[in-house]
Structure 1
Amino acid sequence: MPGGARPRAEPPAAPPAVNQGKPIVVAVTKAPASAAKAAVPTPADDPMADDPMTVKRVLKIDGPFEHGDYVWDDKGVPAGPLIITVDLKAQTLSVFRAGYEIGAAVIVYGATDKASPVGTFPITQKDADHVSNLYDAPMPYMLRLTNDGVAIHGSDVKWGNATHGCIGVPTPFAKLLFAQAKLGDRVIITDGKMLDVSGAATAS
């Protein structure tokens, strides 16, 4: 063409009118398989997946949970941090490993002259055959929580019994817990209120 001119482009054809009895086809571009997989969260991508404070399972308890009762089931539960929770108001203790409840028991706890403390405590000592030097009383499978003698240990868990601030659990349960617990594992004791891991009680 003269002067190297380009032909004028023809205007695009007008779009057909809608609703003319023809199906409307929508083109969908399928994402690559790798992209689809990336969109699905994985345990590695989920910051809560390995959080020991995230509850992943609670044990099923049939019927009333009475003094002297306990349950234990750690079959198939992965290894992981142990966290023990105690609710003084509910009079129960629960054991969680990697977020899975593996044990629960009805407890006895501190009498009015020495109440059980509320807060978050690390286990600082283990002694399977401990005897209290204050009360000359056996404390089998003792897990010490405080410097003034408060601990979790095997007890005769009956209605009306109490302790001098300790958390008493059935002795067979205490033996199972003792085998799992390590120094530094956290014990969170509440009185029916919410408690953060720093130990500050908050209203529920």
Structure 2
Amino acid sequence: MSHHLRHQTRGRTVVGCALLAVALGAGATACGSDDPSSAAPYDASDHISFNGPVEAGQKADPDEPLEILSEDADGRITDVTAVDAAGRRVAGELSADGLRWHSTAPLAAGARYTIRVSTENGDGERGRKVLAFETGEPDEQKRLKVTFGPGAGTYGVGQPLTAELSRPIEDPAQRRVVERSLKVESTPAVEGAWYWVDDEKLHYRPKEYWPAQATIRATSALHGIKIGDRLWGARVKPLEIRTGERVIAVTDAASHTMTVYRNDEAVREIPVTAGKPGFETRNGVKVVLGKESFVRMRSSTVGIAEGSSESYDLPVHFATRVTWSGEYVHAAPWSAGSHGYANVSHGCVGMSTANAKWFFDTVREGDLVEVVNSDGDSMEPFGNGFGDWNVDWGEWRSGSALTGTLPNLVASGESARLRPGSA
């Protein structure tokens, strides 16, 4: 964008907008006034130029800065505004002599801009020029794509939002650009924040659980924004989800009971069995990941050798998954004598078939299952389901590129995702 399209105006050689330039018509002098500043602005096209493609219809390179020049030493630039169709302004700087304005922030790609230039000559007469142009789109390989999750639908109040990036973003400044463009709004409104799980994934959750019956919408203003060297934001499909009732199931591994709360009211107390010594159920808050009416659980998938005293191969009904590594809440009729009395499972929370069916029919994806008083490890924050609620709010905010620098807390490997279940 270094060439200028020149044309003749008022018998002089001048530089005009080489894109879709629209100049305001010359204004008439106000009647009955000798004050030049009270007159309508005159057409400043004959001495204002800006850098752009030399052929009409071409689009500007968003990697090049925008520059506005006054070619008349007696006609100073007093103000420049550059705004795209989305209302985003381009920051710029005007020289002390008023002869040059240049952008100090990158233009957006794939955007249409309107430039308004105000001038003033030595006699105090005001001039104006309006220009319009478009910037080109970056190549596909130069675009950062974002996919919001989960899918549209109704979830429990513990469901975090996710943002998957099409390529890793490691630079802190680039992370700030990305995160600043990802917006989450809820009705009712609540305080929340993004957390960088790793270079390609962010999670969003509020300070407390989502309100019941809330509407949550995630959007992106990343399209056309320059993130880094030759990397631009792509269009992002928005996401809208709703929450249902507030359902929280609390398993006390010491008393061998699960209490299910709906909207903070206890609606059912269920005798259960949790993980026995050596296979203790994880403590902490977990989020329901899905429900399977039938799962075949094999001990070999969780590292127990076939033929050992701990091996099993069981048909399991009404299985509600809470970790990728194989923790479920499910029917366990084979251990009925231990329900409410002892922990004998390999990590899952077992109960009668009737209670398991009721639980299966009651909860939905995103509902909360909390385990207390187990001798097991704490639920991993990330990598084995949604352990987001086990990170306190101060640490969570430190995981935002805008408010902190907390190291990533990714836990567990991909192998955890391959395990069908532990009975």
TM-score range relative to shorter protein: 0.5 to 0.7
Match of 1:126 among 269, 291, 315: 291
Partner of 1:174, secondary structure, is helix
Matched residues in 1 for 2:271 and 2:317: separation?
Answer: 17
Contact 2:253 2:343 in 1 (8 A): no
Amino acid at match of 2:281: S
Aligned to 1:143: 320
Aligned to 2:273: 108
Unaligned 5+ runs, structure 1: 1-49, 53-78
* Residue 158 of structure 1 pairs with residue 299 of structure 2: no
Deviates more, 1:132-141 or 1:144-153: 132-141
* Residue 99 of structure 1 pairs with residue 264 of structure 2: yes
Please list, as runs of the form range in 1=range in 2, the aligned pairs for 1:9-158 lying within 5 A after superposition: 80-134=245-299, 135-156=312-333, 157-158=336-337
Unaligned 5+ runs, structure 2: 1-209, 213-243, 300-311, 379-387, 393-423
Tell me which of the two structures has the higher relative contact order, counting C-alpha pairs closer than 8 angstroms and 6 or more residues apart. 1
Match of 2:389 among 177, 194, 198: 198
Contact 2:281 2:374 in 1 (8 A): no
Distance 1:176 1:101, change over 3 A: same
Distance 1:120 1:99, change over 3 A: same
- Aligned-pair identity in percent equals 22
Distance 1:129 1:192, change over 3 A: closer
Distance 1:128 1:120, change over 3 A: same
Amino acid at match of 2:278: D
1:161: Cα distance to partner?
Answer: 6.3
* Structure number with higher strand proportion: 2
Match of 2:371 among 177, 189, 204: 189
Amino acid at match of 1:82: V
Aligned to 2:54: none
Matched residues in 1 for 2:391 and 2:257: separation?
Answer: 20
Partner of 1:152, secondary structure, is strand
Contact 1:51 1:99 in 2 (8 A): no
CA RMSD of aligned residues (A): 2.8
Matched residues in 2 for 1:122 and 1:99: separation?
Answer: 17
Matched residues in 2 for 1:114 and 1:176: separation?
Answer: 26
Amino acid at match of 1:175: K
Matched residues in 1 for 2:295 and 2:361: separation?
Answer: 15
> Which string of whole-angstrom CA distances, capped at 9 and with x for unpartnered residues, describes residues 137-156 of structure 1?
12211011111101100113
Matched residues in 2 for 1:98 and 1:86: separation?
Answer: 17
Distance 1:200 1:115, change over 3 A: farther
> Which string of whole-angstrom CA distances, capped at 9 and with x for unpartnered residues, describes residues 71-96 of structure 1?
xxxxxxxx722111111111100111
Contact 1:150 1:165 in 2 (8 A): yes
The structure 1 segments of at least 4 consecutive aligned residues displaced by more than 6 Å after TM superposition are: none
Contact 1:188 1:199 in 2 (8 A): no
Matched residues in 2 for 1:163 and 1:87: separation?
Answer: 14
Partner of 2:337, secondary structure, is coil
Aligned to 2:360: 178
Distance 1:200 1:112, change over 3 A: farther
